[in-house]
Structure 1
Amino acid sequence: MPNTATRLRSVDSYRASVAALVGDLPSVRLPVADCRGLVLTEDVTAPISLPPFDNSAMDGYAVRSVDVVGASEDTPVELPVPEDIPAGRTDVVPLLPGTSHRIMTGAPLPPGADSVVQVELTDSGVQRVRVFAPVAVGTHLRRTGEDVREGTVVLTKGTVLGPPQLGLVAALGIAALPVRRRPHVLVLSTGTELVEAGQPLKPGQIYESNSMYIATAVEEIGGVAHVLRFVPDDVNALRATLRPHLADHDVVITTGGVSAGAYEVVKDALQGEGVEFLRVAMQPGGPQGSGRYQGLPVLSLPGNPVSAALSFEIFVRPALLAAMGHTEIDRKRLRARASMAMKSPAGRRQYRRGLYDAGSVQAVPVGGPGSHLLAAFAQSNCLIEIPEDVTEIPEGAEVDLVMLTQR
């Protein structure tokens, strides 16, 4: 039987299989304050109108416009002020002809009033006020339902909830929303050579970094990450570490232990248990694993830091966003000119780290193609994507970019 690790899958084919494996997350009702970045699973209908009552758009005086006709600085109209109406007052007294009520911004308009004279056009009187200019009917008023009418759909299914949307539903008095819930992701970093930051390194040891990238990348898109670090290269230990956490998570992401050599603990523990290990036609990041372990989706990424990061960007990030109900799941793409010539292996889609300069519309490669060059990745704002059938990019040729930041 051929070794499954020698099989080669296209990037697009493997990306589709990862998306199908992760699937859709369930819909839940969450408090509005917990919904930032999540996606609505139902339309939202306004339970009230906005504004819910006629109110003043200015600090000033509620009047009948006919009572201030002809008012000017030379011949002001003087009116008694029997009532004050601050914002929040609920026992509003009707306005009688020939009078005015001092009113604050947002306060309910008294019955009988048809306009508001802003305070700057008066002498700011308390018991009596002099008005120095006429006003037309409707001046400085906010009418009931001017923004939203009760019963209308204000947000549609599929809307991504940001501050403006959450502010709207809060203004409508809605306490909870139906949303696709956040993915709970278990991040498992394996390797006896790994050491926690802050501890001294012995010969042959390295600091563990993959879980930091994966966990923060999960949280950046709205997921919840739980990290298990420093799982030793032991099959039984890995299975024992996984077992108590399976019921509480939606996806497991492992890094390391997936290649074709010896001591590949993730592959040894999960192959034959529902997880397939294979190679994808990309560089870096060829070795991959995916499947279900005891019913839970597992995505096994390579251990080299850049390979793990690129695998997350190309395969895992879009699958998690789609599972959350997002329709825009891909990074922004641009075209630019290559600042220098590049080579790429035949039959592999290569992702080179790069810096996009908007002024010159150029892509400048940062570092080489090696999967260990993490500093180059940190200094980049894009990936330069070289297709599988291209082995050489001349200087000045157009290339496709996958934007990592908006810098």
Structure 2
Amino acid sequence: MPATGGHTRPGPTGPPAGSAAIGQDDRVRTVEEHQAVVAALLAPLGEEEVPVAAAHRRVLARDVPAAVPLPGFDNSAMDGYAARSADVAALPVRLPVADDIPAGRTGVLPLAPGTVQRIMTGGLLPPGADVVVPVELTDAATDVVEIRDAPTAGTHLRRAGEDITAGTVALEAGSPLGAAQLGLAAAVGARTLWVRRRPRVLVLSTGSELVEPGEPLLPGQVYESNSLLLCAAVEDAGGTARRLHFVPDDVDQFLATVRAELADADLLVTSGGVSAGAYEVVKDAFRTLGTVEFVKVAMQPGGPQGAGTVDGVPVVTLPGNPVSSFVSFEVFVRPALRRALGHAAPGRLRAPAELTAPLRSPAGRRQFLRGRYDAGRVSQVGGPGSHLVAHLARANCLVVVPEDVTELPAGAPVDVVLIEGALQ
């Protein structure tokens, strides 16, 4: 179906007020400052109409009003007998079964005084009935039933509109569409939904030392993993990712590869080549364009960062160590993508926790430590090293230690960011 409200790319942006010039990295930026820079690169994404069945894990772009009430009619919440409470006030009692009402029957007879009608869960309540007697309180007969006990009037009934009334907003724009939301959309009569278009993200890892997994390794070489990690992170955030083959540390080849692939991209994410040493191909190449700014951010891991545009396409450059790349994506790229998608709550779920052991943190840098969170307590997983990817794989949260904290004892309260199994 046709898309509307197409994505508008921002033009090349200069550094924020008070920052260093494009291409300089002698200024230290706060985490919040760099989050704002990255978020500003991505404009809200356009809308498209898709079938409800194709909307799983998308983000709703328009409110969904209920075309019908839920329930749509008075019905039974139990298998049993529709009765008048006055007829079952004196117990036990034997009453003739005047009719059978299975679920799905569209027409029923009024309930005559002194009778009951056998009814199944979801069955249309006959006019005159004001209680359903569960079958367990009877002898389950189909001609004349003996009722040994009965609930009070109004029990085991589902009244029309008690869940939602017709015309009420069933789902609000900005809602992530999981199983429950899609079930509600279908239940109120929606056949299609207007959702945000998924951002198209190019992911490129750089480095002459990188080798495709499974190939023989020579001394000094490592298997390339960041692009797979980042593509999965993009998909988890709601985007579509395309992995570019990494290129050697050659500026001209890097720029040619990037520019040849940008036409259909909403965002380019690179990893590696942004530190302070020699042979930093991403920094060297983008500095020649003058539209990408490289800075240090007061955090660990993930201090070296870059953001800007190339040929009008937003670009975020991340460090090359796997843990630094992952944490940087979580802190900067994921919330920006989700905000562009229209998420009402773009951030990860956070929770307070109590440390199981003491920890240390460098002064002046916000620390994001890998942790295991369980029942309000959190333990650190491995050390702070940005190369410890096995420890990252065992973590289910990031423990956030503020810049002005250098030591915390066991039992101290901390803030954790939940990173395992979270969809919103």
Cα separation, partners in 2 of 1:379 and 1:8, compared to 1, 3 Å: farther
Partners of 1:249 and 1:24 in 2: CA distance: 14
Q: Secondary structure at the match of 1:89?
A: coil
Paired letter, 1:375: A
Residues 67, 98 of structure 1: 8 Å contact kept: yes
Residues 234 and 240, structure 2, Cα contact 8 Å, conserved in 1: yes
118, 129, 149: which one aligns with 2:145: 129
CA distance in 2, matches of 1:118, 1:185: 56
- Give the Cα–Cα distance (whole angstroms) in 1 for the partners of residues 193 and 216 of structure 2: 48
For structure 2, the 5+ residue unaligned runs are: 1-19
Q: Secondary structure at the match of 1:148?
A: coil
| Secondary structure of 2:246's aligned partner | strand
The structure-2 alpha-carbon separation of the partners of 1:127 and 1:331, relative to structure 1 and needing over 3 Å to count, comes to closer
Structure 2 distance, partners of 1:102, 1:389, is 70
| Partner Cα distance (1:245, 1:322) in 2 | 24
Q: Larger C-alpha radius of gyration, 1 or 2?
A: 1
Q: CA deviation at 1:93?
A: 3.5
Task: Give the structure 2 partner of residue 141 of structure 1.
Answer: 157
Q: In 2 relative to 1, CA 6–141 (structure 1 residues): closer, same or farther, beyond 3 Å?
A: closer
Q: Cα deviation per residue 1:180-213 (whole Å; 9 max; x = unaligned)?
A: 3433322111222211222221122110111122
Report the TM-score when normalising by structure 2.
0.79
CA distance in 2, matches of 1:78, 1:185: 69
Number of residue-to-residue matches in the alignment:
399
Residue in structure 2 matched with residue 403 of structure 1 by the alignment: 417
Partner of 1:256: 272
The alpha-carbon deviation at position 58 of structure 1 amounts to 1.8
Match of 1:234 in 2: 250
Match for 2:326: what amino acid? A
Letter in 1 for 2:246: F
- Conservation of the 8 A alpha-carbon contact between 1:238 and 1:269: yes
Give the Cα–Cα distance (whole angstroms) in 2 for the partners of residues 162 and 68 of structure 1. 44
Q: Deviations over 1:33-69 (max 9, x none)?
A: 4444544443332211111111122212334445555
The answer on 1:377 being equivalent to 2:392 is: yes
- Is residue 2:34 matched to residue 1:14? yes
CA distance in 2, matches of 1:198, 1:320: 32
For residue 25 of structure 1, what is the aligned residue in structure 2? Answer: 45
Structure 2 match to 1:166: 182
Distance in 2, matches of 1:360 and 1:231, equals: 44
Give the stretch that moved more between structures: 7-16 or 264-273: 264-273
Retained in 1: the 8 A contact 2:132–2:155?
Answer: yes
Q: 2:350 — aligned with what? A: 332
Q: 1:84 aligns with which of 75, 79, 100?
A: 100
2:23, 2:287 within 8 Å by CA — same for their partners in 1? no
Bigger mean CA deviation after superposition, 42-51 or 206-215: 42-51
Match of 2:331 among 297, 300, 314: 314
Return the offset for 1:296. 1.4
Q: Which residue of 2 aligns with 1:45?
A: 65
* Equivalent residues of 1:79, 1:130 under 8 A apart: no
Q: Write out aligned runs for 1:168-247 (5 A).
A: 168-243=184-259, 245-247=261-263
User: Structure 1 unaligned runs (5+)?
Assistant: none
What SS class does the counterpart of residue 307 from structure 1 fall into? Answer: helix
One-letter amino acid of the counterpart of residue 389, structure 2: L
Query: What CA distance in whole angstroms lies between the structure 2 residues aligned with 1:246 and 1:133?
Result: 73
Moved more, 299-308 or 91-100: 91-100
> What amino acid maps onto 2:37 in structure 1?
S
Residue type of the alignment partner of 1:198: G
Provide Cα deviations, 1:60-109, integer angstroms capped at 9, x if missing partner: 2334445555341xxx323153x322111123344445543322111112
Counterpart mapping for 1:275-294 below 5 A: 275-294=292-311
Alpha-carbon distance in 2 for matches of 1:343, 1:351: 7
- The one-letter code of the counterpart of 1:349 is R
Whether contact under 8 Å (2:208, 2:247) holds in the other structure is: yes
Q: Structure 1 vs Structure 2: percent identity of aligned residues?
A: 50
CA distance in 2, matches of 1:169, 1:360: 34
Residue range with higher mean Cα deviation, 11-20 or 162-171:
162-171
Q: 1:295 offset after TM fit, Å?
A: 1.8
The 3 A distance-change label for structure 1 pair 68 and 196 is same
Q: Distance in 2 between the 1:239 and 1:160 partners?
A: 36
Instruction: Identify which of 320, 323, 347 aligns with 1:303.
Output: 320
1:393 lines up with 2:407 in the alignment: yes
More moved, 28-37 vs 218-227: 28-37
Distance in 1 separating the partners of 2:265 and 2:388: 31
TM-score normalised per structure 1: 0.82
- 3-state SS, counterpart of residue 45 of structure 2: coil
Structure 1 vs Structure 2 CA RMSD? 3.5
How many angstroms apart in 2 are the aligned matches of 1:361 and 1:126?
57
Amino acid at match of 2:315: V
What are the equivalent positions in structure 2 for 1:35-74 lying under 5 Å apart?
Answer: 35-68=55-88, 70-72=90-92
Q: Relative to structure 2, which stretch is displaced further, 206-215 or 350-359?
A: 350-359
Distance 1:338 1:9, change over 3 A: farther
Q: Distance in 2 between matches of 1:302 and 1:378?
A: 18
Q: Write out per-residue CA displacement over residues 130-172 of structure 1, whole angstroms, 9 at most, x where no aligned residue.
A: 4445665444322211222212233334444444333322221
Mapped contact 2:351–2:418 kept (Cα < 8 A): no
